[in-house]
Structure 1
Amino acid sequence: MAQPLMHYYFSSKDELWRAAVAKAFNEMLVHQEMIKELRELDPVSGLRLLVIRHISFLARHPSVAPLIAGESQFTSDRIAWLTDTYIAPLENHLVELIRLGQKEGRIRGDLPIPHVVRFIVGGASALFTYAAPMKQIYDIDTADDDAVDTYARVTTELLFSGMLVDET
């Protein structure tokens, strides 16, 4: 885009950046609006579905996880905007489902929720923030549907095996 046109449509580089980010992230908000569907499920099933959907979203938008990782290193207006607009709504849904699961006695209450949420979000995004090493070391293409499905399965199995109350 020619610079005069950029200034015509966007008043600043920051506004251009926000518009570009919003293009990818708005799908995340659509997924979060489906939270009504998650409310029809028990908290553990809803949490599992939300994690799988988030991994699927990250697979469709491979630049999102590295962008968040990069912007999150330092306090800035950009990360504040990202947090308010996209990150906090997702994490609030995760917190709600975890609390409901704890209230029902299905999710361990001894695990601090902020750390559980960070583990979920970090685990979901790890495959996509390390795409090049995954290819080089394991010959795994992180854009491959089978690789994403396998990663979602492994992530949820490992997450839930440690988070759920042992019912034996």
Structure 2
Amino acid sequence: MIKLLASTAVVAMLASPVVAQTATQPAATTTATSDASAMGYNYTSMTGDKSAETFIGKRLYVSETDVDANAEMTEVDQEWDDVGEISDLVIGEDGQVKAVLTDIGGFLGMGEKTVAVSMDDLAVIKDGDSPNDYFTVLKSDRASLENAPEFEWPEAQ
């Protein structure tokens, strides 16, 4: 429940500038466009961008061998081990994703723990059957991930 509230708060925080914007001015002029660009309102989605909404809840697989991030898979590789589910993202004050939180181990939510994985260590593999879907793979093994320290948020959040 806390994870749901935390991720909802992050989404609300990131969306609030968009909600606060109102169309009280007539059509934008070149100067207004330049001002908006200077303020950072000019991001255009690019191929490969992922939504946090679709990233959270994805299965995390580990592979002991290198994975080609540019490959396109139609199903889970038999050498990959399904170890858990991505539950949240840690976003730093600079707005960058610092870690991906993954719930691993346990059964039906009992005995699982949350482990922080670096976003840079994850390979995002395109799903050839569905252009908007993908697999997330970490080069590691199940034992290393299960022996990793449990992630805990600091008391003052």
Higher strand content, 1 or 2: 2
Q: When the two structures are superposed, what TM-score results if normalisation uses the length of structure 1?
A: 0.28
TM-score normalised to structure 2 length? 0.30
**Bigger helix share:** 1
